[in-house]
Structure 1
């Protein structure tokens, strides 16, 4: 509540003498801030939002200013104590006695603190208890060294503050483990004051990790500073590989690399690039360990993944180093299964699996068994359940009636929960059903919390697989007929106009009494119910069958029957082929600066990334033969992107703008251009994928060209920009000449976890909030928009009051009056952006992508009309899939704070919005981790 002074033109040239003797200019805005803090301290967070207080503060400020000006002039400077006296008097005169008393106590406490601060305080004697029972004096010099090393190069942090906070948490007899954590915890409480403390926390955690890893390998306690580790990484790496092989965790083939050459390439300085959330996530879930002891350090982790992907390369050391540099720079990151398992004895590296379940018991339970085997090693699953006959259908073998698909979905749900990806993540699966299935209405209810729990799947994701004919019926307010698939077997494999024609023929057959089980409903009523369930439960998602098939490069050999767990994969499935996709994402936030895209770096990144993803197919450990057959026959990969919001911040482009839509178009065109070219280069080097002949690629039809195939089936029901800027004719010619290494090349996945590792915004998502607490399997993490903080600092607006306002207003700048309009627009949060902008940007990207994208949609104050317009707009724009619908009523969540709950900091601090991350996706979860 100390009132500082700066130049205020309307107050003239009055000076203020500060306690240090320095003289500065009088500024009444500092009085307003002090009064606001005073009310906040007494009345809590509600004071910030109270219109009464917001009216009182300017009035009281004016009273104080007028009183001061009567006693001051150009030759009569004010003392800081005079100003505080007048603040106190104004509060008393106004009848705000509680606030005034708190203000008086505050001044007295700080006066005493200043006196005490002048007295040198002796350091208490602290003994540290080691695991073997030894007690040694605290090494204060090393503690100071570690903290100062962690703060080095960061201009907005204070090593002294971290040290002071750390020492407050120490006690005589503290264990060595507690001591290692103490500075980490001290730094993380400061993250909300400046996001650079996240780097400090990460570096302090690194010190703990170094001691843990080095001690495990040496068999005795070892420690190393960052500088020492940077110099010692090479020698450590050889010991790491040897121990990993001995433990049976690393592939013995890694020991046959030139480890001296490999170790020399490790860049210890890259350890400093981690933020706390990213490194803690690595520590908890990714780094190799034995009996809970981590022995894999971050750069060894990246190199282990790189070596695992380079095993089949001719010059594998050189390729491993190339792959390592891409990963450790955060320019590109492989998906979680690849990071988990590359270089290990069970290298299941693929992210997504798509299956079709046939209509018989053996196929159904074989599909559920496959789910378990695929989930065991961190795969996300998408199951096509449409072929399974519906409720009331005749069963020839027993002469009975089917109970429909729902009981089997319940079993699949429980299997996903039981098989939890090695304890790292719960198994996650999404069930797909076409809109004409007789069980569709029960399918819509699967995630409800009411009704017969035996017909509910509380953990399984669900998605509608919607044919164009249904949307046309909705738009025409026509009828829609539901069938059981055993009576209309052709519908499952038909798409576009062929589906529509055969569907009408089946309707006519039903009218003639030739079909036993069917039901007719109003299409609009069913659509309304689909949207209602989506809003209420977050499921089933809306995905579109015909765009996925009509634009599929592989339509010559099969049908896309569903998407995957996160709706970005669109690959063919059949009873004898389980589709597999291998994912990784470019970090657009690292490849874009204020001047735009670094084109050379982007091209280099894409080329190397495509090679890495193609290598996954050959070194992969396949848990079921159907996956091996499919992956080696078609060789699909899914190159995506993350950090889109970070790129927009760098370019100063708001998400809700035509410029953002145009940037989405041009950036994706460039990624697509280089990705297709890289796959063609690999085809020339290694050969085309076996099912290439007859594909759209072989006909010179690229993703941008396949739009016309959809347009031919849609007619006027497709409104999609076709503009292009690069030299695509040369790419078409080259693809037809040399072929493609991969049947599919691009897909934009959610990237939640790998974006955390890289410290950027996930995928193509808008900014969720500018300040919140993220809660996931690794704990609670304060997340602050660093770009916003930089801008607010530049304008002199980043202070404690701004932090409190951000907390109170759920991370939104909109209601904070003193924030300039341009910053409010640039840093608008997801629910402040009209989702039509997200759909427009996604439609522009979809032009260039041969698969799909995980597109979350956000809506504030939802109603049926808005939802209908949103999803019909997505359909008209030719999107293949959508993902979660997030509405404010479902995501307004509990608040908590690091400050005010630990008994050490301001106990009346405002609270930070907390976002819980469940083990599987839910509507409250802005960062689904199941795919990546």
Structure 2
């Protein structure tokens, strides 16, 4: 008889009757009948969590044919959570939730897991167990195995989702009234804090920021170059940040090119790409404190002599083997883009050695928005030239081949920069303030050493019941605009409070965080909102809706930041900022983008010119709609703002699973898919889409078969209206992807993380024009991913028969993720390469927020 190992070390014989009873209890809790649905063969000793995992995954496999069994799987998993967090007898009595929770918090404090100062607020716990019930199986799985839940010294889960939400709310607020407000917003899922909040709240590593950027100067160590931030300094800072759960972006453009002289050793430099390998290996070692593998962005300016080596660093044979812990992107300026597209007939573009440039000018080459217009590079610093047209095509071909590199448009970045060009000093670090670094998925745009905290508004919670259909104006009436405004204000307060509490222990970073106070309030669930309103993603109505939504969130978030400035004072460098002059950064950005558009649009094909003109008209229409708020806001910001920026749209890879909705501003990825995340392989339907079909009598066996085979409705016997409304990411043309990102960008003062998905048969010209149009319409950073361009994918769309068979034949073994090894064991078990890493499909490395 196989033995079951309990978490306390006890061994007991496996009892199939006991196992069956646990499933029946879980089913009873959600009103579902089970009758022999779970039949597992156990021929070896197992751990209790492993046994529970086997039961739940068996239920999930059968939920392909009987969806209500997914509820039973969730209930069974929640039973484990309650048993460990609230006590073995809680499932029998179902009483004393709050008292048990407070006792558990007190035990965590006594064990030194939580700060002692937390106890007063944690003891005021106001339970909301309906939050536990509202979560999906995948959300609870993420909570337990994705390290959102705290564990005690014996590795037992020490809190329920509701308890974790209270821990986050109180840690950020530090006073009871505001904590109640934050708790209400989190447990109603109107606001969803980013992963570091859940990882670190009230712990001894209390850091809430998601997004970091570091300087990488052309020296090895500050030990030999005091006062500078060298390569190994950045490596050390990166390790600390990733251990705390943050992602890091680095610009390697200051490093001298390969073959350049190294005077100290009379040798030659190995170039930026060789040093990137150090940072790539660093991630494998650190693994973000066991919570998730680290995310990184590496960028290089297009004028760097090693730019061609950088472009090819993750293409061809290298794409599945080299720099696998990096997203990479090329920073390009307007001068390059105008030469690349033939707007400037002289297509020669100079390459600059950053070491020589700094030696000759005393300035860093990266500290200029457009080096070739604002300052002529010294002749000695010019290391040849390239044909911009050819180089731009090489960049596009690399992205077509492997998804790398992406592009970062430096002028677009800085068009909304409220401190552009100002001289700043933080922690003895003097610099010209220019956004010249981005975080791993480019949603935050920063000067080196800046920090951004992320929290997301779940838009689905602001759609009125019973809406949909009618004119566009009637659909606009389906949005709870006042509720959305309040969420923007609460989210702004929440993030501002987080800045006050969050510390990395790295002096220059913590001082920069306090000086510029960057908020990254974003959204999730936009695609689900569109389905509720009956608006296809690939439509002008959708493009206009995101423009309105982001404009409304922006004016309310910035107004709240102005209100906070009156309470707490403005951010440190406010007097140097555009705000002090009564300027609103996104309006400056729009004026820049649309003025340039008129000058450059003649080089675009007619259909792209028409699309750009129409987006401009939509933006101006939103601007007129918001005119009364904007006029008032001009005076409000002149009196001070607390945060230098307020918005950013992150990919929300993990947090959208927690909220059970779609990611960021992305479309629905698929109607049925296998999601590979660090907690295992999760079989999912996109339930809002299935519910839409079911409500109209379209969810027939034939339609279901088509969805399961492909993840799409393309081959299903349904009306074209349904196919258009429920079109998935790979079915939507690249132009609509770019337009959606550009439309949202009009009102976002930082960046937007979005992938421009393309089918496997997309031609290279599509990537070329997507990059070209994104620049002209103001997109700050763009990533293209062509289906099947990598051998290992994050999500497999559809539940194809061979994959279903493989799942049915394989007993998936998953344990609580204490070590990465358990992930690797799961990967080996299901024989799917993509299981090796838990990934987000809208992020090239998969670990973006």
Determine the C-alpha separation between the residues in 1 that align with 2:554 and 2:135.
29
Deviation for aligned residue 1:393: 2.6
User: TM-score, structure 1 length as denominator?
Assistant: 0.77
CA contact under 8 A between 1:545 and 1:562: conserved in structure 2? no
Deviation for aligned residue 1:388: 1.3
Q: Secondary structure at the match of 2:12?
A: coil
CA contact under 8 A between 2:403 and 2:783: conserved in structure 1? no
Deviation for aligned residue 1:171: 10
CA contact under 8 A between 1:842 and 1:855: conserved in structure 2? yes
CA contact under 8 A between 1:915 and 1:925: conserved in structure 2? no
Structure 2 residue 808 is matched with structure 1 residue 902:
yes
Deviation for aligned residue 1:823: 0.8
Give the corresponding residue for 2:199.
340
Deviation for aligned residue 1:901: 4.5
Structure 2 residue 140 is matched with structure 1 residue 279:
yes
| Match of residue 329, structure 1, among 164, 181, 188 | 188
| Match of residue 521, structure 1, among 383, 386, 392 | 386
Determine the C-alpha separation between the residues in 1 that align with 2:650 and 2:577.
24
| Match of residue 701, structure 1, among 571, 583, 597 | 583
Deviation for aligned residue 1:281: 0.6
Determine the C-alpha separation between the residues in 2 that align with 1:729 and 1:925.
33
Determine the C-alpha separation between the residues in 1 that align with 2:408 and 2:546.
21
Structure 2 residue 633 is matched with structure 1 residue 732:
yes
Determine the C-alpha separation between the residues in 2 that align with 1:126 and 1:395.
64
Question: Which structure exhibits the higher relative contact order, with contacts defined as CA atoms closer than 8 Å and separated by 6 or more residues?
Answer: 2
Deviation for aligned residue 1:834: 0.8
Determine the C-alpha separation between the residues in 2 that align with 1:205 and 1:239.
22
The 10-residue stretch of structure 1 (412-421 or 474-483) with the greater mean CA deviation from structure 2:
474-483
Give the corresponding residue for 2:817.
none
Structure 2: unaligned runs, 5 residues or longer: 222-229, 424-432, 468-477, 602-611, 812-829
Structure 2 residue 161 is matched with structure 1 residue 294:
no
Give the corresponding residue for 1:930.
847
Determine the C-alpha separation between the residues in 2 that align with 1:586 and 1:271.
19
Give the corresponding residue for 2:73.
201
Determine the C-alpha separation between the residues in 2 that align with 1:203 and 1:928.
32
CA contact under 8 A between 2:27 and 2:75: conserved in structure 1? no
Give the corresponding residue for 1:826.
725
Deviation for aligned residue 1:443: 1.0
Q: Structure 1 residues 232 and 180, CA, compared in 2 at 3 Å: closer, same or farther?
A: farther
| Match of residue 581, structure 1, among 452, 455, 460 | 452
User: TM-score, structure 2 length as denominator?
Assistant: 0.84
Q: Looking at CA atoms only, which structure, 1 or 2, has the larger radius of gyration?
A: 1
Determine the C-alpha separation between the residues in 1 that align with 2:445 and 2:5.
57
Structure 2 residue 397 is matched with structure 1 residue 532:
yes
Structure 2 residue 554 is matched with structure 1 residue 679:
no
CA contact under 8 A between 2:526 and 2:666: conserved in structure 1? yes
| Match of residue 489, structure 2, among 582, 586, 607 | 607
Cα deviation, 1:173-214, whole Å, max 9, x if unaligned, reads 998657755653343223323655433322221011111223
Q: Structure 1 residues 166 and 195, CA, compared in 2 at 3 Å: closer, same or farther?
A: closer
| Match of residue 566, structure 1, among 432, 441, 450 | 441
CA contact under 8 A between 2:396 and 2:767: conserved in structure 1? yes
Give the corresponding residue for 2:113.
249
| Match of residue 236, structure 2, among 358, 369, 372 | 369
Give the corresponding residue for 1:149.
28
Deviation for aligned residue 1:272: 1.1
Determine the C-alpha separation between the residues in 2 that align with 1:813 and 1:645.
16
Q: Structure 1 residues 267 and 399, CA, compared in 2 at 3 Å: closer, same or farther?
A: same
Deviation for aligned residue 1:163: 3.9
Give the corresponding residue for 1:28.
none
CA contact under 8 A between 1:772 and 1:913: conserved in structure 2? no
Q: Secondary structure at the match of 1:390?
A: coil
Structure 2 residue 734 is matched with structure 1 residue 835:
yes
Structure 2 residue 211 is matched with structure 1 residue 211:
no
Structure 1: unaligned runs, 5 residues or longer: 1-124, 153-158, 216-220, 906-911
- The alignment's C-alpha RMSD in Å is 3.2
Structure 2 residue 18 is matched with structure 1 residue 184:
no
Give the corresponding residue for 1:36.
none
The 10-residue stretch of structure 1 (652-661 or 799-808) with the greater mean CA deviation from structure 2:
799-808
Determine the C-alpha separation between the residues in 1 that align with 2:289 and 2:494.
25
Give the corresponding residue for 1:919.
837
Deviation for aligned residue 1:250: 0.9
Give the corresponding residue for 2:169.
306
- What count of residue pairs does the alignment treat as equivalent? 764
Structure 2 residue 634 is matched with structure 1 residue 769:
no
Q: Secondary structure at the match of 1:788?
A: helix
Where do 1:365-444 residues align within 5 Å? 365-444=232-311
Give the corresponding residue for 2:98.
234
Structure 2 residue 331 is matched with structure 1 residue 465:
yes
Structure 2 residue 353 is matched with structure 1 residue 492:
no
Q: Structure 1 residues 246 and 743, CA, compared in 2 at 3 Å: closer, same or farther?
A: same
Deviation for aligned residue 1:399: 4.1
CA contact under 8 A between 2:350 and 2:382: conserved in structure 1? no
Q: Secondary structure at the match of 1:367?
A: helix
Give the corresponding residue for 1:786.
687
